[in-house]
């Protein structure tokens, strides 16, 4: 089956409130709880794959003023989450709901099970209320509800199931199709963009710049964006296009990772991927002359396409930081396109970025992700500038291949085969640290 650029945007790009992993946990719980006639809940039990566990463990939940935890995310979803909102499930959460969920967790009414051998996204939630038992299953992608059941009976006539029906197969089909395309064919998808697509991309810019503006104004989380801005005002750093990209992208991540209740436009299933895919390109536009006002939108569309292409090879979640090697490479290609680079230049920018950042690990979602996004954003700009000036990493270097397509596939092989034990070790360290505190 052939897909279009509209399919790429529809399947891979969507708004998400807060980090997508705790949101996915809450979505599973909210979907299950929605089947119960009353919300007098006695217990919540959740089974998670290792990567959802890793990424939901230590990141702030939207609207909670910095509180975090898988148990709290599940309780909030069960009590007050709106599953019809998908990854914006936390939108209705208020102080009363937070207090209720906090007390529920404190009384040890939430149990979390780590499924160490489970591959791919998997979140099964059992919500018990008296003699009633409701289950929700999210798998394949963060917002894909594949099964609901009440008292052991499968629920088929439900709008949540209807909405998610076929999502997993559509994503798998899209990834298979994307992975067969050449870089030239990926770039050619831009010719299919229409006004509706461009407006959707513009909406992503609005979402992500709003997060960045909040991060710069209030300095939440680690405050990396604010700190870089202060260093500029103190004369210790000079603001050029590389630093501008780092400031804008890290400020948005500061806000998102701190649980600020503003949505991000995600890319390839991750809000931080969306920030990295969009904001460095948006920052660069202030430093160049561009007569075509839609070119920056097309550049961002290319960034989303390249991000999706690489994630089709690396998998949704892994030991490799996707913000670095996937969204970072997407941004590098998009920036090069924005600056009128040829396909040769775009290939060089992608290869330069991957050679630079392929070793960055993913040790879960948390405030420190802002540091990695700052690095990815700056390196994306640098990689593009190097490529435009004829600097390309050669195929004799490490995992770099003779084509950009094979280089991106090599990152996927590194991620899915080479770093399996690394991923286990990262999670073991995180769990040990959690229980040592």
- Is 369 contained in some domain? yes
The pair of three-digit structure tokens given for residue 248, joined into one six-digit string: 């804008």
* Domain identity same for 382 and 326: yes
Residue 222 CA to residue 405 CA, distance in Å, equals: 36
Domain span at residue 156? 19-167
Q: How far is CA 306 from CA 123, 184, 202, 327, in A?
A: 27, 11, 18, 8
Mean pLDDT of 16-23: 91
First to last CA, the chain: 51
Nearest to 66 by CA among 22, 113, 127: 22
The pair of three-digit structure tokens given for residue 339, joined into one six-digit string: 């600056």
Residue 237 CA to residue 143 CA, distance in Å, equals: 41
CATH number of domain containing 376: 1.10.4100.10
Q: Is 18 left (phi over 0), alpha (psi -120 to 50) or beta?
A: left
pLDDT at 18: 87
> What is the H or E stretch that residue 207 is in?
helix 195-218
Residues 123, 105 contacting (CB under 8 angstroms): no
Bridge-based pairing state of the strands 43-48 and 110-114: parallel
Among 140, 167, 194, give the residue marking a domain's end: 167
* Domain identity same for 193 and 99: no
pLDDT tens by residue, 200-225: 999 999 999 999 999 999 999 999 99
Q: How many domains does the chain have?
A: 2
* Domain identity same for 87 and 129: yes
Q: Percent of the chain beyond pLDDT 90? A: 85
* Domain identity same for 114 and 157: yes
* Domain identity same for 201 and 146: no
Residues 201, 192 contacting (CB under 8 angstroms): no
Among 139, 167, 195, give the residue marking a domain's end: 167
Quick one: CA dihedral 36, 43, 47, 317, positive or negative?
positive
In this predicted structure, the answer to whether residue 38 has a pLDDT above a threshold of 90 is no
pLDDT at 192: 96
pLDDT tens by residue, 309-364: 999 999 878 889 999 999 999 999 999 999 999 999 999 999 999 999 999 999 99
pLDDT at 316: 78
* Domain identity same for 213 and 296: yes
CATH number of domain containing 132: 3.30.1330
* Domain identity same for 254 and 380: yes
Among 107, 141, 167, give the residue marking a domain's end: 167
Q: What is the DSSP string of 14-29?
A: EEEES-HHHHHHHHHH
């Amino acid at each position: 089956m052939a897909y279009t650029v509209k399919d790429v945007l529809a399947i891979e790009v969507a708004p998400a409130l807060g980090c997508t992993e705790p949101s996915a946990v809450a979505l599973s719980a909210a979907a299950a709880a929605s089947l119960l006639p009353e919300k007098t809940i006695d217990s919540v039990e959740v089974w998670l794959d290792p990567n959802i566990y890793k990424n939901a463990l230590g990141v702030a939940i939207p609207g909670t003023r910095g509180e975090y935890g898988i148990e709290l995310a599940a309780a909030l979803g069960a009590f007050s989450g709106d599953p019809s909102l998908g990854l914006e499930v936390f939108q209705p959460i208020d102080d009363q709901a937070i207090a209720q969920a906090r007390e529920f967790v404190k009384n040890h009414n939430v149990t979390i099970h780590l499924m160490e051998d489970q591959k791919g996204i998997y979140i099964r939630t059992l919500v018990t209320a008296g003699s009633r038992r409701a289950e929700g299953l999210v798998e394949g992608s963060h917002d894909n509800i594949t099964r609901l059941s009440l008292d052991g009976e499968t629920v088929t006539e439900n709008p949540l199931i209807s909405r998610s029906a076929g999502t997993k197969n559509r994503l798998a089909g899209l990834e298979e199709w994307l992975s067969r395309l050449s870089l030239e064919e990926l770039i050619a998808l831009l010719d299919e963009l229409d006004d509706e697509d461009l407006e959707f991309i513009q909406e992503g810019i609005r979402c992500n710049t709003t997060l960045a503006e909040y991060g710069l104004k209030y300095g939440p989380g680690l405050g990396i964006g604010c700190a870089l801005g202060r260093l500029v005002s103190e004369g210790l750093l000079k603001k050029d296009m590389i630093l501008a990209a780092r400031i804008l992208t890290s400020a948005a991540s500061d806000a998102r990772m701190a649980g600020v209740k503003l949505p991000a436009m995600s890319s390839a299933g991750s809000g931080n991927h969306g920030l990295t895919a969009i904001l460095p390109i948006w920052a660069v536009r202030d430093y160049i002359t561009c007569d075509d006002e839609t070119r920056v939108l097309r550049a961002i569309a290319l960034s989303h396409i390249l991000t999706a292409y690489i994630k089709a090879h690396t998998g949704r979640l892994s030991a490799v930081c996707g913000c670095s090697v996937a969204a970072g490479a997407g941004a590098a290609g998009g920036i090069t396109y924005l600056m009128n680079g040829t396909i040769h230049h775009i290939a060089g920018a992608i290869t330069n970025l991957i050679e630079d950042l392929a070793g960055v690990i993913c040790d879960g979602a948390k405030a420190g992700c802002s540091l990695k996004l700052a690095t990815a954003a700056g390196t994306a700009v640098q990689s593009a500038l190097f490529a435009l000036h004829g600097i390309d990493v050669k195929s004799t270097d490490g995992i770099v291949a003779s084509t950009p397509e094979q280089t991106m596939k090599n990152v996927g092989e590194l991620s899915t085969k080479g770093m399996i034990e690394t991923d286990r070790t990262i999670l073991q360290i995180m769990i040990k640290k959690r229980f040592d505190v």
